[in-house]
Structures are given as C-alpha cells and as structure tokens.
Structure 1
C-alpha cells in the first residue's frame, strides 16, 4: 500500500516537474519575441525603438535557441543601451547582421561577438564610443591555429558618428578579413601613425569611409597597406589641395568622392594623380571651385561616371581637361570614356565640343541649370547634344535655358530646334550684334525726325530773338564807297 502511494507520488511529482519545465521554457521562449518583433519568414528579429536599456541575457538567447526558427538579422537600433556587458552566446541560427546604431553605447565587453560564427556585418554607429573604450579584445573570436582568435566572417564594420579621435594600433588584429570600414563623422582631424598601423591589419579592405572628419591632408603612405582599396569617401572634410602623393598608393580605386571640400581650382599643380582603374569621381557642392585647367582629369583612362555638379562658382572647364596621351603613343590623344556626365547647377556659360569624343556613347548628359551663353559656340550643344539629352533624360530638357544674350534670356534651348537655326557669334569687342537692327532703325528715325525739327527751331529763333534793323542801317548795306586815285579823279 505504501509502495503504491509512493509510486503515485513519484508519478505526479514527475508530471509536475515536466509541466513546470515546459512552462518555464515556454516563458523563456517568449522573452525576446515578446519585447521584439520576431519574423521568422523574413529572418529578422526587430527590436528597434523598443526602449531597451540592457542587452538580452544568456537564458533569453538559450530559450530562442530551442525553437526551430532561423534568424539572420538583429535590429537593436534607436534604444537606450549604454553598454554591451554580456557576450552573445553560441546560436543555432546563422545571425549575420547586427545593428546597434543610435544608442548610447560607450562600453563593450571582451569577446562580446566572439561566439557568432556567422556574423558578417556589425553596426556600432551613432554611439558614444571613444578610442579608449574601443579596444581590440572586443572583437576576440574563437581559437585558430592560423590567426589570433579571429572573427573570420566579419566583413563590414560601421563605427561612424562616434567620438573617435584615433584608433588603437591593434584594433583590427582579430578582424583581419574586414572589407568595408566606416569611420565617417568622427573627430579624426589627423591620420595618426596608430591609425595607419591599424589599417595594416586589414589588407583586404575595399571600402573606406573617412568623410566629415575635418581632415586637411593625408599622410603619403596612408593607403599603402590597403592595396585592395576600391572605394574611398573623403567628402565633407577640409581639403584645399588634392592629396596626390597619398592617392598614388590607391591604384586599385574604382570610386572616389571629394564632395563638399573647399578645394581650390584644379590645374596642373593641384590635380589628381594617375588612377588607371578609377571609374567614378564625385566633385560636387564645392563652393570654392571656379575653374578646371588643362589635364586636371587626364589620369583617368577608365572614367565612366563624373559628378561635377552644384559647384555654383565653377565657370570654366578647359577643353583639354579630360585628355591624355595614349599609353603606346605619346603623340596621340585620347579622352576619358565618360558614359554619365553631371555638369548641372554650375556657373558654366559654354561647353566645348571637343571636351569629349564620347558624346554619342553617353547614357546620361546633365547640363541643366547653368547660365548658358547662347552664341555660336553653343551650336554644338543645340544641334548635337540636345537630341541625345531629349532621348536619355527628357524630363530635364526644359531646364536648359539661355542666360545671355539678353534677346534670348530665359528661352529654352529646345525652343530653337529648327534645323536651319544657328546662334550668332558675339561681337569681337563683346558688342551685341542682335541689337544692331534696332539701333539702326532708331538712328534712322532720329535723323528723319531731327532735320525738320532743327529747321523749325532755327526759324523760330530768327523770328523771335534776332534784333530788328533800322532803315538807315538797311540803306548803308547797299552803299559802296568810290575808289580814289592819286590825281583825285573818280
């Protein structure tokens, strides 16, 4: 009897224990997904803007591991996180992307991401990280016989909009496979040697963003350790001169951005070095840029896309700015094979027809919103380029207008599409021949109307203001004294 009672007790105790564990597991499973939006169909755990103040615990992640759901992306941006004080545990699902931007993070635990064997992108931008708190140990990974505790899979690291003045020399010693590094909007005013030392640990780097860091110059060898660099963003800094020596080491560049820098006029002294593989160049919103001289872009034999727009003082581009000698024959000239040309919103008045020989091959030509001088030098644009623009970007053609001469001011170039129409050349002395007919008519009318008016004035003057003569004075007008001879004979 006692044994049967004991068996009943054991049975109910076991059942209670099982149900208790199940209930506890069920509760743990919902901790993360109760606070966040877990979308297994899109493989996203969305914790954005949830007011989170601390990271999830080991138990929270362990419970999520028990599900069969798979997630590749974790969004934890726009919260109130101040630190990442716990490690991410090993996860059964392939978490590849973690977004921790727009928080207040100023401290990260050692090996915080070391257990994430699928992690490819980590976004720590818009936080309060400093060089003192951003240490190499943060990125420690698993043991490897070939590398020093690496996170082999991490390819993209975003550190923009933090408080970084410099970088730890060994910051990337555990993340040597990084291909994209974003350091934009940090107070990095000078590229210190420790930054260059840090770059030496990421030889596979292809994209580097150093925009808006108040840089005025670059060390000559800054890009020497990152020979694979393909995209370089230097916009929004304080460059007055092109860092030619530094760029010479970036021979694999495909894309270069210098937007919004106080760059002086580009000429043979202040020009780009030869970059044989460069395909895209951005030089926009540069208020100090007024002219581009001969050969300024002569080192870009593969340049296919040029953004040279919104430079409101740029009024002159030398017709030979894009020419360079052929590699096999210095006596022969070739031009950059530009396919997309953006020259809009500048202060250009004319455009030389021989600036490019690839006009017909262009996919886009943006020359709108410039104060064009509609004289004979613009006939090439009128006859040859306008049909191309009308075909490729017809929505912009109405914004191509004449500013001078005054007779055409405000007229759209598309208004002069008659096949036999041509703009006249301006006078040698900058006169306005288009006004000649009006001046001649005015002069002729002045002469015709002026002659009778002059005669009338003379007659009125004689009648009203000429003094009257008496009879004696009038008679003496006909008196002539006789000649007197020596003999007094008349």
Structure 2
C-alpha cells in the first residue's frame, strides 16, 4: 500500500499538477481568479487597484457565498455602475476613487442584505443620482426597500439631490455628504433628507454652507450626531437648537468670532453631551452664559483656536449648584489664553482637563492654577501637565510651571508686570520723543519768528532816524538861507 502511494506521488510530480478544467465558450471566470478572496470574518472579495473599467457582473453572479461578505472595488476606472446581480448575502459594497459618474436605476435592487454603500471620491452629481437608484424590489405591488443603513457619497460633485432619492432608504442611519459643493441647501435636498426619519448621523462638513434652512432639523427627530466642520458659519446657527435629540455637535473650522449667550439652549438640547469648537481661525471670545444650563454636556473641545484669549468666568453660569454640571472632559489646549478663572468650573471634579500650550501669565492670579489645578491634572492625566509653560512675567517666561512649583516659586503680581514692561515703556518712550520733538520744533519756530520781527523793527527804526536827520538838515539849511536873505535886505 505504501509502495503504491509512493508511486502515485512520483507519477504526479513527473506529470506536473492537474490542469484546471477549461472554461466553456462564454463561461465567466471565477471572481476569485480575478480578485483576491480572503476567508476573513466577514468574508472579503478584494478587487481594488486592478485597473478595471467594467464590473465583472457574470463572475459576481457565479460567486455564491453562504455567509455575510464584503465586496471592495476601490481605485479602479469604472465610470458607470450597472445594476448588480443577485448577491443575497452581500452586506458591504465600496467603490471609492473610480471616476464614477453614472449609475443604473435600481442599482442595488438584487442585494437584499446590503447595509453599507461607499461611493466616495467619484464624479457623482445631481444628474448622476437618479431618484430610483436605491429602489428596491416590489412585493405584491408594495415596495420592499433595501436595508441600507450607511451611505457615503462624500467627495463628489453633488450640489443638490432629487427630493425622491432618499425615500427608498427608510432605515438609513448614517449619511455622509461632506466635501461636496452644496453652497446652499435646495428645497429638493431639504425634502429628500427630511424623509430619513431614522437618520442618526449627518455629515455636511466642508460643503461651503453659511446657514441651515429654517426648520431643517425639526423633522430629523432621531439625529444624534451633526457634523458642520469647515463651513462658512459666522455664528452658531440658531437651527441647531431645534435638534432636540442631538448628542454630538462638530462645529470646528468655522469663522465664528464669539460664542454667545443663547447659542445653545439647555431647555431644548437636553441630550447634547459633546461639543467640538476647535481650529476656529477667528474665535476670540466665549461670552458669559455661553454654555449655560447645558446639564447634559460631558465633553467640551475648545482647542487650537489661535485668537481665543477670553473665556468669561460666567461662561458656564446658570446652574443652581455645581451638581448640575455633568462635564467630565474639557480641552482648552493651544489657544491664546493668559488667565483662567477659578470660579468658572469645579475644576478638581472634572476627570480630564487640558490647558497646555497657552501663553499663561504666571502672576498672582495664576497661583491657584499652579498650586491646585496642575497637581490635579498631574494625578489624573500626567501627560497633560507636561507642556504648561509661562509666557510671563519676563523673569519666568518660557519656564515650565511644574519646575517652578518644585522651586517653591512665589507667583506674585507687580505694579507693572514684567511681561508688560516692554510693551508699556516702549509706547511711553515713543510718546515722550514725539512730544519733545513737537516742543522743540514749536520753540524753534517761535524763536525764529521773534528774531524776524525784531530785525524788521530795527530796520524800520533806522529808516526813521535817517529820515529825521535829513529833515533836520534841510530845515537848518532853509533857516540859514532865510537869515542870510534878511541880512542882505538890511
């Protein structure tokens, strides 16, 4: 038996591997001979970066997978997406970076288990997105919609969408429209998105919006996350207060100058727990009562705002006591803050505080930060106490606060703080020099004028004297002639 086995192996090696059965004419290749099939969990068919110009529909139709699986067709050159064949267990379909510009009606109708579609980084537009693209099957004349829960059509050329486009996606929970040239939301787009009663997350970042349509968020009663990063809002849009179920707001990178009282409404936004206001190029001030009565607020990200130098001590005022605050995390790093109010928050009860990379003025008003707050930060999050550095007074400029504490530095206030002496005496000295120059110029001009007047007066007096002498001489001459004439007559 062993000898037979050895002979079989030797014969196999001599003749080479058995060739695969030849495909019949017109028979499609297996998808796994075109793409890479991975027995992962879930099962993955990777067709990325193969230079495809068409979808291998026949190969996909022959590929039967009895478990949930993913099909990835990113980074190819497929400009048109036809209706996909029946793939009952396909749950995720991605087709990024393809130059996709057109799609068939009912593209995904044969994918009953589909949950996520990613068509980002393509050339899709209003015309491309036909109202029936997401149309499902009909069962006894009643629509049987596809169960897509996540749709990513970001980084395209979409300015608006058909008002019937989303009606075929009743269970959609997450919609990504960021990095599209929307500019201003049309009525069609508003109506289409309003159909998404189960939408939980909407991303409109980097769409050049400067306002939200009136009552736009009222109908989105399930929305928990709203992303408006990188737009042209100059104030916190008042429509946000109508998103009653909102839990997380991203409003970063907008040209807002002030966070004002009334921008947020604690009586309406009772579930708002996270606010992101970072990298705001023009933000300078957080006014009193800006975050008043946001009793559910747990995280505030107010960082990397290069011009932010004032946070009013009453920015969080309005609670009957500190117990009304739910704040667990506050990030104030990389701003232009010099001072921080002790009474603004119950600092020691907050789990995460980051105040690094600010130009702190380490005078007597900063002493509580050094002696109370920083030790608390060090205890809870040691890495967040490393880069708390003084910008003034000049005596300690550039010094780490932790090292000053080790040296028992006395955080003192001066009549003219060192950090401000240079900025104080510089303008004063310039003022003195300018005033001196003005006095000198005025005095010189006055003196010159006096000299001029005096010389003029002297010249006039000389002429008068000369005139009088000539006159006297003439009178004397006339008198002598008269006397001589009288004597001659006698």
TM superposition score category, shorter chain reference: 0.7 to 0.9
Report the alpha carbon displacement of residue 273 of structure 1 after superposing the two structures with TM: 3.2
Which residue, 306, 330, 335 being the options, matches 1:346?
335
Report the alpha carbon displacement of residue 40 of structure 1 after superposing the two structures with TM: 2.1
Partner of 1:188: 182
Do the aligned partners of residues 370 and 62 (structure 1) sit closer, same or farther apart at CA in structure 2, a change above 3 Å counting? same
Q: Count residues in correspondence.
A: 400
Partner of 1:127: 122
User: Does 1:150 find its partner at 2:137?
Assistant: no
State whether residues 393 and 417 of structure 2, in contact with CA within 8 Å, keep that contact through their aligned partners in structure 1: no
Partner of 2:10: none
Partner of 1:482: none
Partner of 1:477: none
Do the aligned partners of residues 365 and 433 (structure 1) sit closer, same or farther apart at CA in structure 2, a change above 3 Å counting? closer
State whether residues 324 and 334 of structure 1, in contact with CA within 8 Å, keep that contact through their aligned partners in structure 2: no
- Gaps in structure 2 of 5+ consecutive residues: 1-19, 422-490
| Equivalent-residue separation in structure 2 for 1:397 and 1:118 (angstroms) | 50
Partner of 1:276: 270
Report the alpha carbon displacement of residue 351 of structure 1 after superposing the two structures with TM: 0.9
Partner of 2:314: 320
| Equivalent-residue separation in structure 2 for 1:133 and 1:434 (angstroms) | 61
User: Does 1:82 find its partner at 2:76?
Assistant: no
Partner of 1:107: 102
SS of match in other structure, 2:330: strand
1:132-172 deviation digits (Å, cap 9, x = unpaired)? 12012111111146963411x21000110111111101111
SS of match in other structure, 1:163: coil
Do the aligned partners of residues 56 and 29 (structure 1) sit closer, same or farther apart at CA in structure 2, a change above 3 Å counting? closer
Partner of 1:303: 297
Which residue, 160, 163, 169 being the options, matches 1:166?
160
**CA RMSD of superposed structures (Å):** 2.5
- Gaps in structure 1 of 5+ consecutive residues: 1-20, 327-331, 436-490
| Equivalent-residue separation in structure 1 for 2:298 and 2:141 (angstroms) | 41
| Equivalent-residue separation in structure 2 for 1:166 and 1:102 (angstroms) | 21
Report the alpha carbon displacement of residue 277 of structure 1 after superposing the two structures with TM: 0.9
Which residue, 244, 249, 253 being the options, matches 2:246?
253
Partner of 2:260: 267
TM-score normalised to structure 1 length: 0.77
Report the alpha carbon displacement of residue 421 of structure 1 after superposing the two structures with TM: 4.7
User: Does 1:408 find its partner at 2:364?
Assistant: no
TM-score normalised to structure 2 length: 0.77
1:2-27 deviation digits (Å, cap 9, x = unpaired)? xxxxxxxxxxxxxxxxxxx9643899
State whether residues 91 and 113 of structure 2, in contact with CA within 8 Å, keep that contact through their aligned partners in structure 1: yes
| Equivalent-residue separation in structure 2 for 1:142 and 1:433 (angstroms) | 73
SS of match in other structure, 2:249: strand
Which residue, 67, 70, 73 being the options, matches 1:73?
70
| Equivalent-residue separation in structure 2 for 1:76 and 1:264 (angstroms) | 44
